[in-house]
Amino acid sequence: MPIPFIDLKSQYDLYKNEILHEINKVLDSSQFIMGSQVDVLEQSLAKYVQAKYSIACSSGTDALLVALLALDIKKDDEIITTPFTFIATAEVISLLGAKPVFVDIDENTYNIDENKIEEKINHKTKAIMPVSLYGQCSNMDKINEIASKHGIFVIEDGAQSFGATYKGKKSCALSQIGCTSFFPSKPLGCYGDGGAIFCDDEKLMKKIKMIINHGQEQRYKHDVVGINGRLDALQAAVLNVKLKYFDQELKKRQEIAKRYDENLQDIVQTPILGEDNTHVYAQYTIQVDNRDEFCDNLKQFNIPTAVHYPIPLHLQNVFKYLGYKKGDFPISEKIANRVLSLPMSPFLTKEHQDLVIEAIRKVLS
Ligand SMILES: Cc1ncc(COP(=O)(O)O)c(C=O)c1O
């Protein structure tokens, strides 16, 4: 069997009976939108991250969009974020006519450099949106402290870090709003698109619930502009099963990462864990010289790899209008040329781990 980059098939085989049972319950009930599966999921998610409220929604992207809408972000507002992330983080800011203001990253964690945030804050700044990239959080205490000093919000983009902890507290419960994604390849993934928003404020929760449902609390009575951002019941059914096994899976991810660390850290830059963090390894990402040539060589050993992300956002065509140029965020640019993610999932066998390690050692010998 070829080495899978992410092994969703083995996971499905393991939970198949339970998942099909829950899916059948939804089909029998004909309750496809919202309903008890979604209610149960929201309660379990809130309990899991220790947030007061969890609102399930249609994707990680919509979670971020809805968070911004709930905080009344509008045209010409500025939101500080990182240029080294998936496009969705900054895309939703632009969609609202607000301006993504980028801050370079920390060379070790690849997350926003908290020491460079304050110089970008002005009267238009409304929020900071740190991204917990690859599965570990930013320095959230410092970011929250800066935000509260300036009276602005913090929205954590925890699309890749569900289950990770910072100072013992779970990602997505570390600031006013936390957002995550249940895209199939995420550590906790469903079988389509899905996401969730977390907060502790009841008023905010009610507004978020309205926004994901066309701005209505009562049917056909619309009080704010919203979207169709609900999670469907079939996805909730899948997540309700997978959540039960999630911590076991995280443990396996961490064991595989440890094995990669021990066998690769003498020849490549392996992930560096922030001292206050645990990591969920949504991606196990190394740094190498001559990355593209290295990838081609690994291909000859049938090792699948991926680059997250080859072009930082300030150099993407879509953000040309922001006026950034090459050299503006040197660490992001350097790291974008060097990173490479290795096969990672709780079901990656020991044999496959060994093949990855041996191939890397051969290519670099
Ligand atoms: C950092 C980050 N933010 C947002 C998203 C968007 O999530 P979704 O694909 O569920 O819309 C992703 C998904 O890859 C992501 O990695």
Question: Crossing angle for the helix pair 88-95 and 60-70, nearest 10 degrees?
Answer: 40
Q: The tokens of 33 are what? A: 């939108």
85 lines ligand 1 (CB under 6 A): yes
Do 97 and 76 touch, CB atoms closer than 8 A? yes
- Measured from the Cα of 133, ligand 1's closest atom is 1
175 lines ligand 1 (CB under 6 A): no
Distance 47 CA to ligand 1 centre (A): 22
Do 85 and 112 touch, CB atoms closer than 8 A? no
Do 250 and 257 touch, CB atoms closer than 8 A? no
- Measured from the Cα of 308, ligand 1's closest atom is 16
**Reported pTM:** 0.98
Distance 86 CA to ligand 1 centre (A): 6
With the most atoms of ligand 1 within 8 angstroms of its CB, the residue from 6, 94, 161, 181 to mutate is: 181
pLDDT tens for the chain, 365 residues long, are 899 999 999 999 999 999 999 999 999 999 999 899 999 999 999 999 999 999 999 999 999 999 999 999 999 999 999 999 999 999 999 999 999 999 999 999 999 999 999 999 999 999 999 999 999 999 999 999 999 999 999 999 999 999 999 999 999 999 999 999 999 999 999 999 999 999 999 999 999 999 999 999 999 999 999 999 999 999 999 999 999 999 999 999 999 999 999 999 999 999 999 999 999 999 999 999 999 999 999 999 999 999 999 999 999 999 999 999 999 999 999 999 999 999 999 999 999 999 999 999 999 99
Q: Count how many Cα atoms sit within 13 Å of the Cα of residue 228 in the half-sphere of its side chain.
A: 2
Distance 334 CA to ligand 1 centre (A): 22
- Measured from the Cα of 132, ligand 1's closest atom is 1
Question: How remote is the C-alpha of 73 from its chain's centroid?
Answer: 21
With the most atoms of ligand 1 within 8 angstroms of its CB, the residue from 84, 138, 160 to mutate is: 160
The SS3 call for residue 323 is coil
